Amino acid sequence: TKTKLDGTVIWQKKGLFGQDTTVYKPTWHAVPPNSEFTYLCDGYGSNQVYEFDTRGNFLNKTWGGPSKTKGPTAELGKFSTNHGCTFDPRIPDTPTVVVSDRANSRFQLCAIDPKNGGKFDCKKSINMQPYLGAGSLPCNLRMYPKQEGRAITPDLAGPVGVLDESNKVISVVNVSVLLAEQQHKHPHDAIFLPNGDMVVATWAPGRISYWKRLPNDTN
């Protein structure tokens, strides 16, 4: 069954809505399939993650907050610009939301309980600096189980990284360098198309580029 998107607002929630902060500038919303629970990253505000139900009710569950130190070795479960949060369908045994801990140059893998809620347990991280540079600022991670489990991440510092099913970086496209004359400055989102081609959106002043995967490309 196909659902037509006609612009109808299902629900909306305006901050503040009960959380223990006066700052609220959300950036991303993870929606696990077949679950009544969703997770909102307040990436430009409190650096916290809030739990909602699918009807838009805030469930008074909050995790995270600012990390005391900066960089890939900062304490797990704390964030510095938790910009993106995406459910990872490639980990069936442990339901997981991947959080882009952007200013700490890493992704955090956080276990959730899609049946009962009340859980956001970040026990593992992926340091992006060795692959995308010391100033790495990963915005989000999009996963593609049907494309050999690959994932793609746009990095605000300039490159776009391709990861394999184990989250190892297997390819880097230096978008901001290759398209510098066209002012493709800061990759802010990126997707794979069904044929493996890549589309990248950059920020300031705002550009979109299309990258074709070559037939002999094994990465």
pLDDT in tens, 37-77: 999 999 999 999 999 999 999 999 999 999 999 999 999 99
pLDDT band at residue 136, thresholds of 50, 70 and 90?
Answer: very high
Q: Which of 59, 54, 109, 64 is nearest to 86 (CA)?
A: 109
Kindly state the tokens that stand for 132: 């995308």
Contact 156, 203 (CB under 8 A): yes
Higher-scoring residue by pLDDT: 17, 168: 168
pLDDT reading at 9 higher than 80: yes
Question: How far, in Å, CA of 75 to CA of 78, rounded?
Answer: 6
Question: How far, in Å, CA of 40 to CA of 31, rounded?
Answer: 9
Higher-scoring residue by pLDDT: 89, 4: 89
Contact 76, 91 (CB under 8 A): no
From the CB of residue 58, how many other CB atoms can be counted at a distance below 10 Å? 17
Kindly state the tokens that stand for 87: 């459910």
Handedness of CA 113, 114, 120, 125 (dihedral sign): positive
pLDDT reading at 1 higher than 60: no
Question: How far, in Å, CA of 14 to CA of 38, rounded?
Answer: 16
Percentage of the chain beyond pLDDT 90 is: 85
User: What's the chain's average pLDDT?
Assistant: 94
Question: In Å, how far from its chain's centre is CA 102?
Answer: 9
Question: How far, in Å, CA of 13 to CA of 21, rounded?
Answer: 16
Q: Which of 41, 180, 184, 29 is nearest to 102 (CA)?
A: 41
Higher-scoring residue by pLDDT: 217, 177: 177
Higher-scoring residue by pLDDT: 136, 214: 136
Residue with tokens 């510092």: 157
CA within 13 Å, CB half, 123: 8
Coil, helix or strand at residue 49:
strand
Burial tier of 205 (Cβ tally within 10 Å: 0-12, 13-18, 19+): exposed
pLDDT reading at 132 higher than 80: yes
143-178 pLDDT, tens digit each: 999 999 999 999 999 999 999 999 999 999 999 999
Q: Which of 85, 110, 211, 204 is nearest to 156 (CA)?
A: 204
pLDDT reading at 17 higher than 90: no
Percentage of the chain beyond pLDDT 70 is: 97
From the CB of residue 194, how many other CB atoms can be counted at a distance below 10 Å? 8
pLDDT of residue 186: 97
